[in-house]
Chains A and B, each alone.
Chain A
Amino acid sequence: MRMLRDVLWNLFKGRATVMYPEERGSPPDNFRGRLGFNRDECIGCGLCHRVCPASAIEMENDGRGARPVFHIERCIYCYLCIEVCPTKAIKPGKEYAVVTSRKSDLVVR
């Protein structure tokens, strides 16, 4: 019967549920979401490719040299690449809903 107070109290409280697709809370500043990449700042050192624990970063030659390609569907959001990047060309992002029906949406170049 101990529960009686709690459940009755809930009658007068708002819902705890977040009605997800309609209301989206914004993640905190520290949040590790989908990363971004600025190609111009990249020097093609390949460090990110070497440290990535999930092998989500492939190196691709675009004429100027080897540049990383990020496969978000493989990304585990550890941000190790951002940490090692010497020119800060890889940018943190806050987007967390990365579901899509086109695989090409999940490739960051």
Chain B
Amino acid sequence: MSCLALLFEWLDRKFVAKLQNRVGPKYTGPFGMLQPLADLVKLLSKEDIIPEGTKTFLFNICPVAAVLLLFIANSFVPTVHVEGVLKAEGDLIIILVIITLYLLTIYMAGSAAPSRYSLMGAARAAVMLLGFELPLMFSSLSVGFAAGGFELSKIVAKQFERPFIAGPHLIGFAIFLIAAQAELEKIPFDIPEAETEIVSGWLVELSSWRLAFFRFSKDLELVLLSGLATALYLGGPIGPVIPGLEVLLYPLYFLAKSISVLFLLSLLSTLFARIRLDQFIRLCWRYLIPLTLAYFLAMMWVV
């Protein structure tokens, strides 16, 4: 899973670089594939700085919590089989809760540091949550309703003949992508980080292993969200197979599908300028949330 996270970061960087007529990571490993790992190792070796006046406990616990939470969430995502590594009753809801909890760790890490930039970043992250959480939840839950259960395995199994994206769920997929983009703090919605405005927002006081953990957690989140989109809308790891070769083909299908989702997310991040916080909230409440609710109610009605 960790390898997958690093691979996804590399793919994201390489693809965006290609879209922008650049090269991207190149020197570490074949085609620069080890660059994310090298970045992590380098960050881990950096001097550990805790600014004066920091709430040290929160500051230390948040990065660890973030990584752990996302590991747990990722374990539920079906990758090599219809079921994930972990399986529980209603694991879709567990994942959604974890995504919210993860944002809480961001908020707490940002507000634990005394810097005004990080405080502003944390506040922005919290405000953004108001905007994109409902679309994220409802677009995923609608799929659950359509599948008749909130277990990812059930949802995936339901798509044996036809993935959900073919049909009315295309809107849900689009909504999910936009919300995921906001959740990942990728470009049109990188408001809490906003390098040119508040330096790096909530990340600014993090250093050494804390920064490494948070960056790694972002990669894990990338895997989680593209994996989740795959499971919810693209039929997870299933696809046409030659009997007996499922073990081999299913992971490949999963990779292909989730990487396509990743590419969509990366493409989205090259198309726009970062919008302002108030504009983001307006966008969400004026267009995205009504659309989500309409979609959700329509799904309920159909079911």
Contact = CB atoms under 8 A, between A and B. Distances in A.
**A–B contact at 8 Å CB threshold (below):** yes
B18 A3 contact: no
A54 to B, nearest CB: 35
Interface of A: 1, 3-4, 7-8, 10-11, 13, 15-17, 19
Contacts of B271: 1, 3-4, 7
Interface string B4-40: 0000000000000011111100100000000000000
A10 B272 contact: no
What does DSSP make chain A's interface, helix, strand, loop or mixed? loop
B56 interface: no
Size class of B's contact patch?
10 to 19
A10 B23 contact: no
Nearest to B266: A7
Nearest to A8: B19
Nearest to A17: B23
27 contacts: A1-B271, A3-B270, A3-B271, A3-B272, A4-B271, A7-B19, A7-B20, A7-B267, A7-B270, A8-B19, A10-B18, A10-B19, A10-B20, A10-B21, A11-B18, A11-B19, A13-B21, A15-B21, A15-B22, A15-B23, A16-B21, A16-B22, A17-B21, A17-B22, A17-B23, A19-B23, A19-B26
Q: Which 3 A-B pairs have the closest CB atoms?
A: A7-B19, A16-B21, A17-B23
A3 B273 CA distance: 10
Best-surrounded residue of B20, B21, B22, B267 (most CB of chain A within 10 A): B21
Contacts of B18: 10-11
With most chain B CB atoms within 10 A of its CB, the pick from A7, A17, A19 is A7
Contacts of B270: 3, 7
A17 B21 CA distance: 8
